[in-house]
């Protein structure tokens, strides 16, 4: 039995047995791990609110060699992100961010960049400046970190032409007019949306917030990214994870 | 079906119960095998009766043997207050306290983005109907969902739907549990308890 002590973000909680909880964390040093918190649903439990989704905490757990699930021993809150839970819209966006990390990352593979991205995105949601923009930027950066970075500048059909009017989920990028016929399922993309995606792809998550796209562009980009992620992770529910 | 088949079938059925794995199911099955026939028949009858004679109240979704439960039928209760709970066992716990004299509404689940609005959604429609019903005006809806993210999301969702009807919506207090030491409370619980503080009267 080995000892695990790391910073973590709570991605999801599930009721287990009579009074326990099954928690999935995204940890700084071990990536995505799941563990059992014994008695976490009892009224007077030692974990308190530390195991609520979105909580940034310091996790102490024990690992068994035969079991993938760790035994959660102690959890101390570093930042609760409590303000996120006071509003339905932020709960929904925060849940989608956590679910994306849950679905797009493999188990036990450390990825500090994704940890910091999720932490920063939850902080931006909490301040509530432009939440829909924060969510779009989170999707753009998470796709990049997970290795599914689409080609936004030149045709992904292999011609090397710049610009494009359609986006192909299969080819993973924009297609020029000549290549657009190669994928019947490719979808149209406006020049404004493409310009926005090119700009934010080159910027980091924080500086991406200096952009102020129109509502129409945000809607178009969000739908496009949701569909692309749905395609990449093989989800049956369009735009839901 | 031979003896092993009957016994195996019992184990498989017992394994359907939550938190019961094969080992526990086997232990239960051996216990049933050894118990007097009368006791075993009582267990079987109780299970069948529960399924055949118990329904959900058409008004509040509480468990009942009639069309409406005894709480909804009682004239001694305050019919202008509705307390919303996630499960019927929460209702039983509140009834045990003896403090609340109003009516209930059981959601049988939550309406949260984390659970894809499953479970409690149909029951919320029933709650809205009760609030809209002008023949029995409701003055207050008390939200007693759990103080976790699912419960909070459900409370926010219901508040959003009920507020337009001009009904007072309240949330049960959240804070340090009675009989515990404050030094062991986490920061979220402490913040909640400070937010919900009340004036002390001498």
**For the domain bounded by B3-53, which CATH number is listed?**
1.10.8.420
Tens digits of per-residue pLDDT, B101-140? 999 999 998 887 766 555 567 788 899 999 998 788 899 9
Residues of B in contact with A240 (CB under 8 A): 116
* Domain range A2-82, CATH architecture: Beta Barrel (2.40)
Residue contact A87–B149, C-beta within 8 A: no
Closest CA to A75 of A57, A93, A98: A57
Residue contact A44–B112, C-beta within 8 A: no
| Alpha helices in chain B, H assignment, sequence order | 3-14, 22-34, 37-53, 70-73, 88-97, 121-132, 149-162, 187-195
**What pLDDT does B120 receive?**
62
Mutate to test the interface with A, among B89, B188, B189, B192 (most CBs of A within 10 A): B188
- Distance from B154 to chain A by nearest Cα, in Å? 9
ipTM field: 0.76
- Distance from A218 to chain B by nearest Cα, in Å? 22
Residue contact B187–A77, C-beta within 8 A: yes
Residues of A in contact with B185 (CB under 8 A): 48
For residue B166, the Cα-to-chain-centroid distance in whole angstroms is: 26
**What pLDDT does B109 receive?**
87
DSSP E strand stretches across A39-113: 56-63, 70-79
Average pLDDT in the A37-65 region?
A: 89
Closest CA to A153 of A200, A204, A206: A200
Instruction: In whole angstroms, give the CA distance from residue B173 to residue B197.
Output: 9
Instruction: In whole angstroms, give the CA distance from residue A163 to residue A176.
Output: 6
Residue contact A86–B152, C-beta within 8 A: yes
**What pLDDT does A66 receive?**
76
Average pLDDT in the A58-81 region?
A: 90
Q: Residues of CATH 1.10.8.420 domain(s) within chain B?
A: 3-53
Tens digits of per-residue pLDDT, A90-108? 999 999 999 999 999 999 9
- Average pLDDT score, chain A: 90
Residue contact B191–A44, C-beta within 8 A: no
Q: Residues of CATH 3.40.1360.10 domain(s) within chain B?
A: 63-171
Whether the Cβ atoms of residue A172 and residue A151 lie closer than 8 Å to each other: yes
Q: Which of residues 31-70 of A touch B (CB under 8 A)?
A: 43-44, 46-50, 52-54
For A49, the closest of B113, B160, B189 (CB atoms) is B189
**For the domain bounded by B63-171, which CATH number is listed?**
3.40.1360.10
Whether the Cβ atoms of residue A165 and residue A187 lie closer than 8 Å to each other: no
Sorted by where each begins, the domain ranges of chain A are 2-82, 129-233
**What pLDDT does A35 receive?**
95
**What pLDDT does B200 receive?**
87
């Amino acid at each position: 039995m080995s000892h695990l002590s790391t910073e973590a973000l709570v991605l999801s909680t599930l009721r287990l047995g009579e009074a326990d909880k099954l928690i999935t964390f995204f940890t700084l040093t071990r990536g995505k791990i799941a563990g059992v918190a014994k008695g976490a649903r009892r009224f007077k439990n030692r974990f308190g609110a530390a195991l609520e989704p979105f909580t940034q905490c310091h996790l102490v757990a024990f690992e068994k060699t035969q079991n993938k699930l760790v035994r959660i021993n102690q959890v101390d809150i570093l930042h609760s992100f409590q303000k996120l839970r006071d509003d339905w819209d932020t709960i929904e966006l925060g849940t989608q961010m956590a679910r994306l990390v849950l679905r797009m990352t493999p188990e036990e593979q450390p990825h500090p960049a994704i940890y910091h991205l999720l932490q920063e995105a939850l902080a931006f949601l909490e301040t509530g400046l432009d939440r829909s923009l924060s969510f779009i930027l989170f999707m753009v950066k998470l796709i990049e970190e997970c290795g599914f970075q689409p080609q936004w500048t030149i045709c992904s059909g292999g011609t090397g032409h710049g610009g494009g009017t359609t986006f192909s989920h299969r080819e993973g990028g924009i297609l020029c007019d000549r290549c657009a016929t190669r994928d019947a399922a490719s979808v149209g993309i406006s020049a404004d949306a493409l310009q926005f995606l090119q700009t934010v792809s080159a910027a980091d998550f924080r500086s991406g917030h200096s952009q102020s796209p129109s509502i129409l562009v945000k809607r178009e980009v969000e739908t496009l990214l949701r569909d692309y992620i749905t395609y990449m992770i093989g989800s049956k529910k369009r735009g839901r994870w | 079906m031979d003896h092993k088949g009957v016994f195996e079938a019992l184990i498989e059925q017992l394994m359907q119960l939550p938190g019961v794995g094969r080992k526990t199911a086997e232990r239960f099955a051996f216990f049933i095998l050894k118990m007097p026939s009368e006791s075993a028949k009582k267990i079987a009858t109780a299970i069948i009766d529960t399924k055949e004679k118990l329904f959900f109240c058409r008004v509040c979704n509480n468990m009942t043997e009639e069309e409406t439960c005894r709480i909804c039928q009682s004239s001694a209760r305050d019919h202008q207050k509705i307390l919303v709970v996630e499960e019927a066992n929460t209702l039983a716990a509140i009834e045990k306290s003896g403090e609340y004299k109003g009516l209930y509404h059981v959601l049988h689940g939550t309406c949260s983005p984390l659970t894809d609005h499953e479970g409690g959604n149909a029951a919320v429609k029933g709650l809205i109907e009760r609030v809209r019903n002008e023949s029995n005006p409701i003055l207050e809806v008390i939200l007693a969902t759990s103080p976790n993210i699912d419960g909070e999301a459900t409370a926010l969702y219901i508040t959003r739907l009920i507020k337009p009807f001009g009904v007072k919506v309240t949330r049960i207090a959240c804070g340090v549990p009675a009989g515990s030491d404050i030094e062991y409370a986490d920061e979220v619980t402490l913040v909640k308890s400070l937010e919900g503080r009340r004036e002390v009267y001498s």
